[in-house]
Amino acid sequence: MIDTRLAGQNVLVTGGAGGIGAAISRAFAAQGARVAIHHLAQDPPAPEGVEWAHLTPAPNAAEDLAEELGGIAFSADLSAPDGPRRLVEAVTEHLGPINVLVNNAAHCETPDTVDALTPGSLERNYQVNAIAPALLIAELARRHSGDAPLCVVNVSTDAARAFPGQIGYGTSKAALEALTRATALDLAPRGIRVNAVAPGPVQTGWMTQDIFDHSTAIVPMGRVGEPDDIADAVVFLASHQARWITGQVLQVAGGHAL
């Protein structure tokens, strides 16, 4: 059995209460890590004509998962300018220094076509999908003493390559991948690794049967992804086995969008 050397480490998973985030939280807990599960307490009202594609999990989902895993839940609005700093402060105060940051929280809305783009839609996508991860990484880097391990895994999407109809979402995730490479180079001399995973179509409950069937047909490996597929890749990139890997975007998509 491979020893990931994650036992006893403090792991912060943003958006860690539902879907892929919950699978990531469970996967780290299974390795003996102490998991801080970030969540958004309540979705803000959507502007007229806009629908949120990513909704917050049910009330108490984060607290229930934290109780199940022996972790702790933290609420923070990552779209707020001080949200990332407050989150890091709260987690550090309760658990101590953070060893692994998983930037999984995301904003996605419809419509997201070129014709539908507005300053507000772009700001909402970039604030959560690119700016907040950058601020979280910077906050942890400033606090890093070098005495304990620190690595970051960003959760992107293969929509970052090209995904018609998801302009704001896809380009903000492309920015996240660029952030992965840039921060990896800046932080490598300090012993901090930064990588990313780029999931393909994953069934977290949002796919209708038609979407599921279509996605299954276009994925070369013949099935859509499951949250555990992504979680396992995230844990690998955070593990001791990935100790000389940084600045990489690992596509976890069954061959989709190569």
CATH of the domain at 131: 3.40.50.720
* Domain assignment of residue 5, yes or no: no
Helix (H) or strand (E) holding 35: strand 34-39
* Domain assignment of residue 167, yes or no: yes
Residue 96, SS3 per DSSP: coil
**Structural domain boundaries, residue 46:** 10-252
Nearest 5°: the CA angle 126, 156, 241 is 135
* Domain assignment of residue 154, yes or no: yes
pLDDT at 164: 81
* Domain assignment of residue 258, yes or no: no
The pair of three-digit structure tokens given for residue 101, joined into one six-digit string = 């940051």
Cα distances (Å, whole numbers) of residue 47 to 14, 113, 142: 24, 16, 36
Q: What's the number of domains the chain is made of?
A: 1
DSSP 174-212: HHHHHHHHHHHHHHGGGTEEEEEEEE-SB-SS---HHHH
* Domain assignment of residue 122, yes or no: yes
Dump pLDDT digits (tens) for 243-257.
999 999 999 999 998
pLDDT at 206: 85
The low-confidence residues of the chain, meaning pLDDT below 50, are 1
* Domain assignment of residue 3, yes or no: no
pLDDT at 147: 85
Cα distances (Å, whole numbers) of residue 191 to 33, 70, 159, 185: 20, 29, 30, 10
Beta bridge partners, 192, equal: 150
How many helices (H) does the chain have, and how many strands (E)? Answer: 8, 9
Instruction: Give residue 189's identity as a one-letter amino acid code.
Output: P
DSSP state of 43: P
pLDDT at 224: 94
How far is Cα 168 from Cα 160, in angstroms, rounded to an integer?
10
The pTM of this model reads: 0.97
* Domain assignment of residue 2, yes or no: no
pLDDT at 55: 78
Known catalytic residue: 169?
A: yes
Catalytic residue among 28, 74, 126, 169: 169
Dump pLDDT digits (tens) for 149-184.
899 999 999 889 877 899 999 999 999 999 999 999
DSSP state of 217: H
How far is Cα 200 from Cα 252, in angstroms, rounded to an integer?
6
How far is Cα 164 from Cα 161, in angstroms, rounded to an integer?
10
Residue 51's CB: how many other CB atoms inside 10 A? Answer: 11
* Domain assignment of residue 4, yes or no: no
Residue 145, SS3 per DSSP: coil
Residue 58's CB: how many other CB atoms inside 10 A? Answer: 10
